[in-house]
């Protein structure tokens, strides 16, 4: 229609030749506006096509992938513009698309849901709640009751200041004051507990004894890492310290793996060179993880070194 409206036969051109350009323009514009899930403006789409062409030309001329600065210089654009347009050129896909053609499984099965907590976070939250509940009992009865009601530590629904004030017969402001006072005491108790744990670890390290927990009790490890890393099992220390196998081969739980990975312990060698005191200072790395690491490392040693020599 546009070609018919604009066509002027007095110019001496054929209508078919004239209309072809309008048809091509309409097709390009339709592709630009309809082919992407997220619409890109026509002017930006034209620049994206120019960037693609310039990239291919520079790659052929330079023998390598051109940088954004080189593409920008070629097209007389800013580096920021080129970077933004290349970001807009990414292909979108559906979460229901198969990961690989001809095979089962879609992207929604492997992409994590950021709105839900991971098992590790759930475990950490449960441990923190358990730890707080153990310290709440050291507060005064009225403070315990208010914290239990406000935060649902007793298993019930957390209540508002108004609901708590009606339940205990105090004003909302007084409930708020008692709550802040109880939280401060709770924070001090947590800090004291951490200091006691660090002091116990320091003393255990200096004395060369088995490590103790926050309550001062000795942790009975079946196979201390120091023993596994020595010559008492009939193999050289260098064998284990030079083992580059990832710690995932030890068969550890996800909680232990994540705790160790956060401290850049990724191989068996990294783990073997750490002592007991260091491991027990890792956050959320409790006695169960401590014991699991030792048992798994001992089993790995038996499997990889002792049995092979036999």
Q: Please check whether residue 220 lies inside any domain of the structure.
A: no
Query: What would the pLDDT profile of 85-117 be if each residue is shown by its tens digit?
Result: 887 776 777 777 777 776 677 777 777 677 776
Please check whether residue 202 lies inside any domain of the structure.
yes
- 153: CATH: 1.10.10.10
Q: What is the CATH number for 236?
A: 1.10.150.20
108 domain-assigned = no
User: Does residue 114 lie in a domain region?
Assistant: no
Neighbours of 138 (CB within 10 A): 11
Phi, psi of 181 (to 5 degrees): -65, -40
| 290 and 232 in a common domain | yes
Q: Among 245, 243, 253, which residue's Cα sits nearest to residue 293? A: 253
Phi–psi pair at 111, nearest 5 degrees:
-90, 125
Q: What pTM did the predictor assign?
A: 0.38
Asked which of 52, 76, 92 is the last residue of a domain, the reply is 92
110 belongs to a structural domain: no
- Judgement on whether residues 187 and 133 belong to the same structural domain of the protein: yes
In a domain, residue 22? The reply is: yes
Q: Same structural domain for residues 180 and 152? A: yes
Residue 299 included in any domain: yes
Contact 36, 91 (CB under 8 A): no
Same-domain check for residues 294 and 243: yes
pLDDT in tens, 113-132: 777 766 667 777 777 777 78
- Per the structure, the complete domain to which residue 288 belongs is given by 225-309
User: Are 266 and 295 found together in one domain?
Assistant: yes
Window from 58-62, 70-74, 133-137 with minimum mean pLDDT: 133-137
Say if CB 149 and CB 284 are below 8 A apart: no
**46 assigned to some structural domain:** yes
Q: How far apart are CA 228 and CA 236, in angstroms?
A: 10
Mark which of 145, 173, 207 sits at the end of a domain. Answer: 207
State the Cα–Cα distance between residues 294 and 310, nearest whole angstrom. 23
The total of structural domains in the chain comes to 3
């Amino acid at each position: 229609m546009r070609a018919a409206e604009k066509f002027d036969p007095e110019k001496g051109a054929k209508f078919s030749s004239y209309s072809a350009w309008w048809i091509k323009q309409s097709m390009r514009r339709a592709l630009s506006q309809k082919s992407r899930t997220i619409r890109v403006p026509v002017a930006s789409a034209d620049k994206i096509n120019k960037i693609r062409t310039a990239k291919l030309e520079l790659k052929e001329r330079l023998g390598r992938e051109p940088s954004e600065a080189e593409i920008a210089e070629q097209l007389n654009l800013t580096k920021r513009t080129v970077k933004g347009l290349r970001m807009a050129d990414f292909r979108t896909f559906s979460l229901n698309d198969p990961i690989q053609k001809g095979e089962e499984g879609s992207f929604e099965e492997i992409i994590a849901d950021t709105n839900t907590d991971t098992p590790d976070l759930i475990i950490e939250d449960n441990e923190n709640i358990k730890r707080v509940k153990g310290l709440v009992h050291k507060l005064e009865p009225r403070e315990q009751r208010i914290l239990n009601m406000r935060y649902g530590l007793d298993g019930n629904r957390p209540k508002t200041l108004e609901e708590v004030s009606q339940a205990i017969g105090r004003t909302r402001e007084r409930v708020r004051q008692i709550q802040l006072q109880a939280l401060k005491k709770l924070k001090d108790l947590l800090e004291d507990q951490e200091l006691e744990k660090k002091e116990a670890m320091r003393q255990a390290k200096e004395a060369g004894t088995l490590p103790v927990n926050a309550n001062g009790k000795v942790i009975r490890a079946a196979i201390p890492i120091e023993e596994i890393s020595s010559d008492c099992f009939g193999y050289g220390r260098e064998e284990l310290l030079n083992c580059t196998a990832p710690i995932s081969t030890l068969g550890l739980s996800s909680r232990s793996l994540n705790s160790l990975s956060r401290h850049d312990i990724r191989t068996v060698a990294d783990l073997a060179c750490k002592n007991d005191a260091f491991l027990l200072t890792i956050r959320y790395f409790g006695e169960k993880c401590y014991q699991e690491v030792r048992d798994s490392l001992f089993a790995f040693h038996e499997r990889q070194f002792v049995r092979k020599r036999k």
